[in-house]
């Protein structure tokens, strides 16, 4: 019998607790199945989000053609291999080609892809591809730096390891000077 709105998920979590050797009827675990089900719904809400709705007409015609950077976008995601969190910072740049996007849309795009079961490499590419598709810019660059709890809590157990991934499209891929400028700017402390 389930009590919350997450019936099937709660049942599965109760079964999982039992398989771990726990008693899901003990006081400390009574509400755990409902809490865990709600948590996973929140952590995977990106599956219910549509990029068209997130962009919501926030692409504007503008004759600006210098690099636009939003750096240090915090993100939290779940490793699809272990269902353990990974988290860090995302840095995004693009060079407009007559179209710009509202700056708040970049963190929202990151959030949509972060709130799914992920690997960092794919998420990095998805963010870059999305911006490239909507803006048709001269170039897009995305760098993600993350700590993976699957590496920290289990496996190699390396506390301070950081995984860095990048996706470079257009001018960022083809022009070393443009790529270097972006990397220098995201590494500056200002």
Return all residues near 73 (Cβ < 8 A) that are at least 6 apart: 89, 90, 91, 92, 106, 107, 110
Distance (Å, rounded) from C-alpha 114 to C-alpha 155?
A: 23
Residues carrying an active site annotation: 79-82, 120, 148, 150
- Helix/strand number for the chain, H first, E second: 8, 7
The CA-to-CA distance between both ends of the chain, in Å, stands at: 55
CA dist., res. 129 & res. 140, Å (int): 8
Place of tokens 């915090």: 74
The torsion of the CA quartet 155, 156, 159, 163, rounded to 10 degrees, works out to -90
- Provide the β-strand partners of residue 85: 78
Nearest C-alpha neighbor of 151 from the set 181, 120, 124: 120
């Amino acid at each position: 019998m389930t009590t919350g709105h997450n019936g099937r998920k709660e049942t599965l979590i109760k079964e999982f607790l039992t398989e771990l050797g726990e008693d899901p009827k003990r006081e400390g675990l009574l509400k755990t199945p409902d809490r865990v089900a709600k948590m996973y719904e929140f952590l995977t809400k990106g599956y219910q989000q549509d990029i068209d709705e997130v962009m919501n007409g926030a692409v504007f015609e503008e004759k600006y053609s210098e690099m636009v950077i939003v750096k240090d976008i915090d993100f939290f995601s779940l490793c699809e291999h272990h269902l353990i969190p990974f988290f860090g910072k995302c840095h995004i740049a693009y060079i407009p080609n007559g179209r710009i996007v509202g700056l708040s849309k970049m963190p929202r795009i990151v959030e949509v892809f972060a709130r799914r079961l992920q690997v960092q490499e794919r998420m990095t590419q998805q963010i870059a591809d999305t911006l490239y598709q909507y803006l048709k810019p001269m170039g897009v660059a995305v760098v993600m730096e993350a700590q993976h709890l699957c590496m920290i809590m289990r496996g190699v157990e390396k506390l301070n390891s950081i995984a860095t991934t990048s996706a470079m499209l257009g001018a960022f891929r083809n022009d070393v000077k443009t790529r270097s400028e972006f990397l220098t700017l995201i590494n500056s402390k200002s």
